[in-house]
Structure 1
Amino acid sequence: MPKRTRSKVRKLALAVTGSIALMSVAACGGPPQQEDTESSGTVTLLGYSAVVQDNYQKAVVEPFEEEYPDITVEYVPGDNAAKMLGTLRSEKDNPRTDVVIMDTSVAESGVKEGLFEELTAENIPNVENVVEQGRTEGGYAATFDSYVMLYNKEKVTDSPTSWKELWEAPNQSVAIDAAPDIQGIALQRIVSEMEGDDYQKDSKAAIKELSELAPKVSSWAPSPSPYQAITDGGVSYATGWNARAQLFSNESPDSLGVATPGEGTIFQVNTVNMTKNSQHKKATQTFINYALSPDAQKAFSEQMYYAPTVEGVKLNEDASKRVVQPDSDALLEMDWSWMAEHRDAWTEDWKREVIQ
């Protein structure tokens, strides 16, 4: 065989060998990941989608990757906590997820099922700075969000000061997410307080009061959201969560108003957990420690108006005015672990007596 021909054959063989190697790597799920250490590796984060993902990326993930350039965080969006828990269950023996941020009442099920690693101060020092409300059966809190009243500024002249204004609204002018959605649960907790009852012992008066609200409500399941219902002008009042409400208020300042009525509010808690069989524990511990740092908590609070979950965070003037913080007198106690056991019963009360 002529020399030039042999050279061409050799190059072709090398090309084929290279192609086979690339195909093998692709079949295994991509190029080899970095070694898992405290300062290098890949962390797969499962969290809420849409605006939460966008803002968490900007406020927490991107600054983290700048500080730890050899750790890559891959954010996987999830629709809701229940679906995220389903994903974790399906991955239990060989998880692709390393860390998840989800509602504490759902995370508690994951804890009981042994899906998560216990977080300790030895490996994640910042857990010691998490405030009392953030130490839950579902893990340590990564975010706090408060329940708020929404109102259409074109239809409601003054910012509401009482939850009672929902009952004073015109018929068919209110949008509320009913139980089993936790917004409905939150409202029942607040109404129990207004009625002077211990919500864990007797909520009959609250259910009766909510049933009297029914004529005012145009939708018990506003779609696509109560925020949109307000900005579209379809309703005068609605309820929602502060973080999203404040973001959408920035986009529609002339139509969407946000208020924390005088009777108080409650925190919705999202915890951060590491999966039990994570293959990237060291890098994941580094990320969780960063997520619970004062700097990360401050950045996310000022970016999206969630309340900080750790001590030592001083928010800027804008966020301070728009965020209910853990030491606020406006906060009512809410035992989400207790609620996880009684949610079905509360939901049945809503179906039987409130939503007709």
Structure 2
Amino acid sequence: MKMKTSRALAVAGVLAASMTLGACSGGGDTAPSAGDASTSSWADVEAAAEQEGQVTVYLASQDAVNQALVAGFEAEYPNIDVNFVRLDSGPMSARIASEVQAGSTTADVVMMADNVQLEANPEWYRDITSLPSYGDVPEDRRVSDHYVITQTAPFVITYNTDKIEKSDLPKTWKELAASPILANSLLIDPRVASSFMAVDYFISQNDGEEVLKAYGEKSKGLSQGAAPGVQQVIAGEADALFPNVREHTDAAREQGAHVETTVPTPTISTVNLWALPEAAQAPNAGAVFMNYAMSKAGLAATCLKGTYQPVAYSDIPDCPQEAPGTTRVLDIYPKLTDDVKADILALLGLQ
């Protein structure tokens, strides 16, 4: 379904020409006119956002990250209330598609880890290249004119520190296949999300198909996601979980759980992708929120001591950047054809 109107952000000196940000949306009467870009400024967008007064954000990150981001934004923009909805990337994409087809989009800004929908339906999203913080994003992370990578997060093995000594952990994904810890480890079902499928595919290509076969044959079983898998490790149902992301483990450890993570090599990372829905109800507030999320202040608020690694700004305290040579799942997704997915599932004994 193609949207009838394409809107660009009104920022002086950036766009040669653009259209009214809020046209054909709930914020239409409050948006600054950008027919003449020289008379429009980011301050106009911020003022229009404050008139809209609220923003709805769909986020795929865990609540500790979401709350830190919202708190930072509301401190800077106290006149804009934030409603955030936490959804995994798959359900989020399905919800957005349903909303678009119904002609009523709830989200004003979205953050997800999967670009399948972003690539398949670019007409559902707005041009973001004139956001002030966009210029600080490295060129290779400006994936498209309608979405951008702001942070990465390496895939890890989560383990129970009462059950596994750090010295016994495998250093590589290949070593895990022959490690004694595999027998009491849970594999996250790759059918849960494209990111897990991408990791398994990369390992099969980099380390050999026999590694995936070992995962399927020797592991204790499957977990249906990162969050439930971490809880299974905490509850003693398994000693370890892979391939996982740090955020749920870090949050549990902060609550006193005896869990930790290790990053096997080669490093494979998931990504945080931000985009602005075309038919947003509060398009200016959505733009202001996304701009904050990409800014140094927004990235510092959501780093959580390295849970997420910013692609810009190397000087944020306790916030390391992405490791050199990291493979991003974003680069793997195009290779995940139906036949490839079937092969991965077969190697793991799931088909």
Shorter chain as normaliser: what TM range? 0.7 to 0.9
Alignment of 1:45-124 (within 5 A): 45-48=57-60, 52-57=62-67, 59-78=68-87, 80-92=88-100, 93-109=103-119, 111-112=121-122, 114-121=123-130, 124=131
Residues 156, 213 of structure 1: CA spacing in aligned structure 2 closer, same or farther, 3 A cutoff?
same
TM-score for the superposition, normalised by structure 1: 0.73
Q: Which residue of 1 aligns with 2:282?
A: 280
Change (3 A) 1:348 1:53: same
Q: Structure 1 pair 337/276, CA: closer, same or farther in 2 (3 Å)?
A: farther
Quote how far apart the aligned CAs of 1:226 are. Answer: 2.3
Which residue does the alignment assign to 2:346? 352
Select which of 256, 259, 265 maps to 1:256. 259
Structure 1 pair 35–344 and aligned structure 2 pair: CA distance change class (3 A): same
Gaps of 5+ in 1: 1-31, 196-205
CA RMSD between the two structures = 2.9
* Aligned-pair CA distance for 1:132: 4.7
The separation in 2 between residues aligned to 1:85 and 1:158, in whole angstroms, is: 38
CA distance in 1, matches of 2:74, 2:166: 44
Measured at CA, do residues 157 and 129 of structure 1 come closer, stay the same or move farther in structure 2, by a change above 3 Å?
A: same
Q: What secondary structure is seen at the aligned counterpart in 1 of 2:81?
A: strand
Q: What is the one-letter code of the residue matched to 1:289?
A: N
Residue type of the alignment partner of 2:132: P
**Preserved CA contact (<8 Å) 2:164 2:239:** yes
User: Offset at 1:209?
Assistant: 2.2
- Distance in structure 2 (CA, Å) of the matches to 1:252 and 1:187: 31
Counterpart of 1:151 in structure 2 is: 159
Out of 188, 204, 209, the residue aligned to residue 177 of structure 1 is 188
Q: What is the distance in 2 between the residues matched to 1:335 and 1:165?
A: 20
Match of 1:192 in 2: 205
CA gap 1:141/1:154 in 2 versus in 1, 3 angstroms = same
Of 110, 123, 142, which aligns to 1:135?
A: 142
Aligned pair count reads 297
Question: Deviations along 1:9-36, whole A, 9 cap, x unmatched?
Answer: xxxxxxxxxxxxxxxxxxxxxxx99945
Q: CA deviation at 1:222?
A: 4.7
- 1:56 shift after superposition: 1.4
CA–CA distance in 2 between the matches of 1:158 and 1:35?
A: 57
Q: Segments of 4+ in structure 1 off by > 4 A? A: 32-37
Percent identical pairs in the alignment equals 19
SS class of match (1:257)? strand
Alpha-carbon distance change, 343 to 86 in structure 1, aligned in 2, over 3 angstroms: same
Answer yes or no: is 1:242 the counterpart of 2:254: no
